[in-house]
Amino acid sequence: MLALAWVLAGCDTTPPVVLDERACADASARVGDTVCLHRIETRAQWETVAVEAGVVDQDRTTKYLVPVTSAEVLPTVFVNANRYLLHYDFLREAFPDDYGSLQWGQYVAMIIDPAVRRYFGGDVTEYVESDGLRRFGFIVWDDPADPATTITYDEVLTVWTDLQARFRLGALMFAPNSSNQRAAAETWTDAPFAIRGEDNLAYEAYTEGVGYGTVRRIALTDLDAATAAASFGYQDILVLDEAPFDVERVVSGSVTGSRQGALSHLNVRSAARGTPNCYLEDPFAALEAWEGVLVRFECGETGWSIAAATPEDAAAWWADLRPDPVTIPAADLSVTEPMGLLDVPTATVAERDTALARYGAKGANLATLYQRIDSAWQIEGLVLPFAWYDTFVTTNTWVVDGETLSFAETLDRWLVDPTFVSDGAVRAERLAALRAAMLVAPVEPAHLDALAAAVEATWAGDTTMVRLRSSSNAEDGLEFSGAGLYDSVSACVADERDADASGPSRCDPDKDDERTLSDALRGVWASTWLGGAYEERDWYGIDQGVVAMAVLVNTQSEDEQANIVGFTGHPTLDDPRWLVESQAGDLDVVSAEPGVWPEQVLLTVAGGVVTAIDRVSESSEAAEVLSDARLAELGGLLWEVDQAFPVDDAVPEGGTLMLDTECKVLSDGRLVIKQVRPFLRD
């Protein structure tokens, strides 16, 4: 198997075996269809891999990859765009041994990030010029929002030289696809290739259709921040001053101020979900009067139209766009005391359903597992019931639009308010105000006393730092994962009890601030109403009025050696091997910082024994996170988890059930499990 580590790590790594130009033929034979070509020498070959572009001045187009060095996994390829509209899908299906576990962020980095780029990527297109002549051109992707990534002359020359040597249908010209690239190209002199000029188009449709949403004009330079803040979503028409490399969030329609190309990531996503997508000259000015207005927007074949829309019409359109609604269990408020994970009844299906309704999915799942595996794999823990959250939100009052209301009245008012329901900006503002109020509202003293007593009894004292983690009824389920939506907060009993509010923490003198129980409870409870969490639940049609937050309390680990996520299967591919991703130290595997990648390994497990270890990619932070011996131990543990953990929900026909288990290696070298959830691959 070829090593993806070479793709993402530095060149001081021993290079993998280089695939020669039989790679496309071999992959095509495995797949049963042409997946790529290394050369295009005839019109028939071009038409095999290129799709109709469907835009005014382009006939056919496809995608290419050119390796940055001669020691990459693949030589240059022209992708069969009739089968793969995204490089990402092509790499994962056609070359699964090397790219089957490739994450989207890794793919983006290896294509556009100069620091780790291993392939140049882009389109090759047959243009139909105004004089009727046909010319071939290529684009090279970078991040148009970041001038520092702008492709250089030497890089374009490298791509042109490689492509032209393999492309025999005509001379290739470079087609700048952003203002940064055009500005750079204007400085190039004596280039051996032609540079395509401005298109001078006023409008172009890529995905024709109608969408309903609130107009959101966002500068491309602000797109990443707006995405992270969930400032736009499926109820919005996204208007950008320039075409992005990609837009990952679902939107009801998109308009860009520069051309995209038929195979742009944005257009592929738009076409897949049937939302309109078009180019409009100076869209910020053209749509200025519509900013913040709920509209019906149409990208037509030859022009666009916009008109004010009613919330009722928009809601009907959004209902067709979204997946089928997900139902979550209602909270059982009958239990008011904390309970140890080993004491929660989980022997029968009925008991497990009750545990879920009282303590939330994360706590109930871990209690269920811990009662069925060896204690060596466990860390201490207890669960706090939904009843505490309910007391917090029902005994306090909340100021909404200047009026004091109960929590139920607040939600009831919001959920029938057409503005709140249809306007993401209004939702974000009101949810932020609610969270701010929750973070300073009083917590029931009896609950603080009960939590302090439970922590002292479990950890033998009041100076052990513990971690309060979300355990809502809207996460860790078969139909709705909710991974990463809510917050975890550290807490110290001694900080709650001391007479001052100043640090350092009595549980950890390295922490400058106190970590009180009340702040931790409020932090986890308030995270129920984070904007991203609300929007994710809304997209899946979850009843927001049913959502509640219980809490799982675990030991806070310090100086851990590794964090691990292991699947008892492959989450995205029909592959019998089990995927393990790990990261050194306390670095997060699931929510890593940009440019930080986990180690990826595929395990073959039979009867609880690891029979093969295939190392797919190295961590960006360490040459080896988990040794073969540790992976063998982990594979045996995951097998035990797979055998022991009961999944009571019916698996839909055609779905593949596996378990998603989060583990860590503690500072003393002990391997423990901190979370388990069922995972359904469609």
Average pLDDT for residues 339-366, to the nearest whole number?
Answer: 97
How far apart are alpha carbons 244 and 230 in whole angstroms?
Answer: 17
Q: What is the per-residue pLDDT across 651-662, written as a single tens digit (0 to 9) for each?
A: 888 889 999 999
How many CA atoms does the CB half-sphere of 525 hold within 13 Å? 26
Residue-level pLDDT at 595 = 66
The pLDDT assigned to 592 comes to 59
Determine the CATH number of domain 203-321: 3.50.30
Distance from chain centroid for Cα 454? 36
Nearest to 566 by CA among 583, 591, 553: 583
Residue 197 is predicted with a pLDDT of 86
For 203, residues 6+ apart whose C-beta sits below 8 A from its C-beta are 278, 279, 280, 281, 302, 303, 304
- 12 pLDDT band, cuts 50/70/90, is very low
| 174-208 per-position pLDDT tens digit | 999 999 999 999 999 999 999 998 777 899 999 99
Q: Two tokens at 133?
A: 């002549």
With 0-12 / 13-18 / 19 or more C-beta atoms within 10 angstroms meaning exposed / middle / buried, residue 20 is exposed
- DSSP code per residue over 223-278: HHHHHHTT-S-TTEEEEESS--S---S--SEEEESS---TT-HHHHHHHHHT--EE
pLDDT tens per residue, range 625-659:
999 999 999 999 999 999 999 999 888 888 899 99
Which helix (H) or strand (E) segment holds residue 180: the answer is helix 179-185
CA of 651: how far to CAs of 350, 596, 654, 679, in Å?
A: 18, 34, 8, 10
Residue among 532, 548, 560, 537 nearest 467 (CA): 560
**What does the pLDDT read at residue 566?**
96
Report the interhelical angle of 386-395 vs 517-526 (nearest 10°). 90
Q: Hey, where are the domains in the chain? A: 5-185, 203-321, 339-555, 562-681
Strand partners, 553: 382, 468
The pLDDT of residue 232 is 92
- Is the pLDDT score of 3 beyond 60? no
> What is the residue type of 285?
A
Give the tokens for residue 68. Answer: 């940055």
> What pLDDT does residue 273 have?
87
> Whole-angstrom Cα distance, residue 613 to residue 635?
10
Q: For residue 158, which phi and psi values (nearest 5 degrees)?
A: -60, -45
Render pLDDT for 21-50 as a digit per residue (tens, 0 to 9). Answer: 889 999 999 999 999 999 999 999 999 999
Residue 534 has which token pair? 């609300």
Cβ contacts of 371 within 8 Å, gap of 6 or more: 341, 342, 344, 346
- Asked if residue 11 has pLDDT above 60, the reply is no
Contact 154, 192 (CB under 8 A): no
Cβ atoms < 10 Å from Cβ of 590: 13
Take residue 328 and report the two structure tokens written for it.
């979550």
The pLDDT, as a whole number, for residue 199 is 72
Average pLDDT, the chain: 91
Confidence of residue 401 (pLDDT cuts 50, 70, 90): confident
Q: Which residue has the higher pLDDT, 520 or 481?
A: 520
What distance lies between CA 329 and its chain's CA centroid? 25
Arch. (CATH architecture) of 339-555: 2-Layer Sandwich (3.30)
Integer Cα distance of 576 and 658 in angstroms? 11
Is the predicted pLDDT of residue 104 greater than 90, yes or no? no
Checking if the pLDDT of 413 tops 70, the result is: yes
Phi then psi dihedrals of residue 359, to 5 deg: -125, 5
For the residues of 626-648, what is the DSSP string, one character each? Answer: S-HHHHHHHHHHHHHHHHH----
* Run of H or E residues at 323: none
User: Is there a contact between 75 and 20 (Cβ–Cβ < 8 Å)?
Assistant: yes
Six-digit token string for 448: 């603080």
More confident residue, 19 or 495: 495
Is pLDDT at 13 greater than 60 in this prediction? no
pLDDT of residue 198: 78
Conformational region of residue 73, where left means phi above 0, alpha means psi within -120 to 50, and beta covers everything else: alpha
Residues 6 or more apart whose Cβ sits within 8 Å of residue 255: 237, 238, 239, 240, 277, 278, 279, 280, 283, 287, 297, 299, 304
pLDDT in tens, 591-614: 656 667 789 999 999 999 999 999
Helix (H) or strand (E) holding 96: helix 96-99
Closest CA relative to residue 655, chosen from 537, 569, 578, 538: 569
What digits encode the pLDDT tens for the residues 254-283?
999 999 888 888 988 899 889 999 999 999
Residue 17 has pLDDT above 50, yes or no: no
Find the distance separating the first CA and the last CA of the chain, reported in whole Å: 27
Alpha helices in 307-444 (DSSP H): 311-321, 349-370, 386-395, 407-416, 418-422, 424-438
Q: What is the pLDDT of residue 9?
A: 35
Is 214 in contact with 424 (CB distance < 8 Å)? Answer: yes
- pLDDT on residue 558: 83
Indicate the length of the chain as a whole number. Answer: 682
Angle among Cα 220, 226, 228 to the nearest 5 degrees reads 125
pLDDT > 60? residue 6: no
With cut-offs at 50, 70 and 90, classify the pLDDT of residue 397.
confident
pLDDT, residue 587, reads: 80
Residue type, 514: E
Percent of the chain with pLDDT over 90: 74
Report phi then psi at 278, rounded to 5.
Answer: -155, 165
Q: Which pLDDT score, from 0 to 100, does residue 18 have?
A: 40
What pLDDT was estimated at residue 164?
97
CA distance 662 to 618: 19
> What is the predicted pLDDT for the residue at 399?
81
